Amino acid sequence: MFRQALCIAFVLSGLLAGSSAARAENRLALVIGESAYRAVTALPNPANDARAMSKFLNDAGFEVTSADDLTRDEMNQTVGDFASAIAAKGPDTVALVFYAGHGVQIDGENYLVPVDVDPKREADIPLQAVRLNDVLNTLNSVPTKMRILLLDACRNNPFPAINQTAGHGLAMVDTKSGAPGTFLSYSTSPGAEAEDGNGADSPYTTALLSAAREPGVPIEEAFKRVRVAVNKATDGRQTPWDSSSLTDDFRFIPATGPGAANAGPKPMPAKLTVDQWRQQLQGRSIDGAHDMVVADGSLEAYQAFVALYTQAQYTPRMRLWIDRQVQMVAWNEAVTIDTAASYRTFLAQYPNSDLSATARKLVVRLQYKPTVAPVVAALTNAPATSGNCNAPSSAPLKKADVTPNNSPSGSAPPVVVKQAGIGPVVREPDPPTRVTTLPPRTVIEQPVYPRRPIYSGPVGIRYAGFGGGFGAFRGGGFRGPIGFGGRGFRRF
């Protein structure tokens, strides 16, 4: 009896030590559940998912802000207030956002759908919804240790006015293209649709709550388990996806017991080729190989599986996954380049895709897009300056202050420059250059951030007073009090 009591005390002390370690690290979470949609059928599970995640994250040492059934303005305000809270905590903060509800992609952009959305056409979504890139940019506007964004938002598109032309699911977001320290997870693969589930919670949230509760499990390992669990629960119809640029270790529940001291960050394993994966899978059972491949989630792993297990029951749906993944990679490349030519290339490869209507529309929209190439070419012939080309000189020169070089010889004499207060200064002449008449300078206003769903790094926006909303979308002109304009944020 005494030994049993001692064991219980040891376990409890370990759990308390783990909780203390988590609370020693600043952890902030924003949990949003969108269930009570007004224009379409309500979703039963997001509210349940949000409540369950709020409780779990609170137990895991997070200071949780919960918000349910938000309108667009309320969602913008809530995200802005969350950024202010992160800034108040300091740069060692782990910031986590969990969103459950509808999400759609329009023209390659991902949008979180508030409950007051009622679109009559695709163009209404950027006006009525919240752009995912804006949420990412807001999280990156303040220094943090890491940013974790979990989206149970890939459910079917419920809006009749746009579900025939908008692409399925969400578009890819590559966190590695921006500043390190971001982990992004979708409840299913890009371009696919997730299930709301028949239980109290969605399959994704159910699996996440189970995997994340185990002490000492790194976040990457936890989501490998989530992928396998959701894939099995949906009979392969849904497989979560994530993108990570984390450089620090993170565990929802810190390790306990004697092994806690050795539970630090582990080096990232090297990415395996298809041939290396075939060697890894060789000789394994079909079920064991399937779970390994799903847990890894890489295209190379799937390709190795279908090559080895051609007659397995999993192979047909894994081939479908491969086809969709390759198509979404091609779509991501097209929207990243964002030219008429890039969309024509996509259409040549996938003329009958659910994204083809969007690609054709963007070809028409971009075929007359102005190019900056002639201006750039002209500017490259301008005389070079030392140091910062945008920095002004200590004393601006006037046209009359420079003695012109009228020498017909190839070697020009020194140029005498008169600067106020310091007398004549002799400057050695530049080497002879071809005289080029530059066209009038054209000011072309370019957005700081692409409108495409490619993750961008810190921008230093003013997060205080976020109430103006995002309003950053293609073709827009809204400018809120935090400096949005056009299709992205402005640097200050």
- Strand-by-strand arrangement of the 241-244 sheet: 63-68, 27-33, 94-100, 146-152, 182-186, 241-244
Model confidence at 232: pLDDT above 90? yes
What is the distance, to the nearest Å, from the Cα of residue 59 to the centroid of all Cα atoms in its chain? 27
Rounded to an integer, what distance in angstroms lies between the CA atom of residue 251 and that of residue 220?
9
Model confidence at 32: pLDDT above 70? yes
Computed on alpha carbons and rounded to an integer, the radius of gyration of the chain in Å comes to 28
What is the percent of the chain where pLDDT is above 70? 68
- pLDDT tens column, 244-261: 999 899 999 998 766 555
Rounded to an integer, what distance in angstroms lies between the CA atom of residue 460 and that of residue 462?
7
Three-point CA angle 376, 379, 381, nearest 5°: 120
Q: Dihedrals φ, ψ of 452, to 5°?
A: -85, 165
DSSP string, 251-277: BSS---SGGGGG-S--PPPPPPPHHHH
The pLDDT value given to residue 420 = 45
Maximum average pLDDT range among 153-167, 321-335, 386-400, 450-464? 321-335
In terms of DSSP bridges, do strands 94-100 and 27-33 run parallel, antiparallel, or are they unpaired?
parallel
Could you tell me if 69 and 77 are in contact, meaning their C-beta atoms sit under 8 angstroms apart? Answer: no
Model confidence at 268: pLDDT above 50? yes
Q: What is the mean pLDDT of the chain?
A: 78
Q: Whole-prediction pTM value?
A: 0.72
Model confidence at 29: pLDDT above 70? yes
Exposed (0-12), middle (13-18) or buried (19+): which is 15, by Cβ within 10 Å?
Answer: middle
Rounded to an integer, what distance in angstroms lies between the CA atom of residue 64 and that of residue 57?
7
What is the distance, to the nearest Å, from the Cα of residue 340 to the centroid of all Cα atoms in its chain? 24
Q: Maximum Cα–Cα distance for the chain, whole Å?
A: 107
CA distances to 388, 397, 473 from 393, rounded to whole Å, are 10, 8, 38
- pLDDT tens column, 371-427: 655 555 555 555 544 444 444 444 444 434 444 444 444 444 444 444 444 444 444
User: At 198, is the secondary structure helix, strand, or coil?
Assistant: coil
Question: What are the residue ranges spanned by the domains of the chain?
Answer: 2-257, 274-366
Q: Which CATH class, in words, describes the domain spanning 2-257?
A: alpha beta
Over residues 217-233, mean pLDDT = 96
The pLDDT value given to residue 377 = 54
- pLDDT tens column, 93-136: 999 999 999 999 999 999 999 999 999 888 999 999 999 999 99
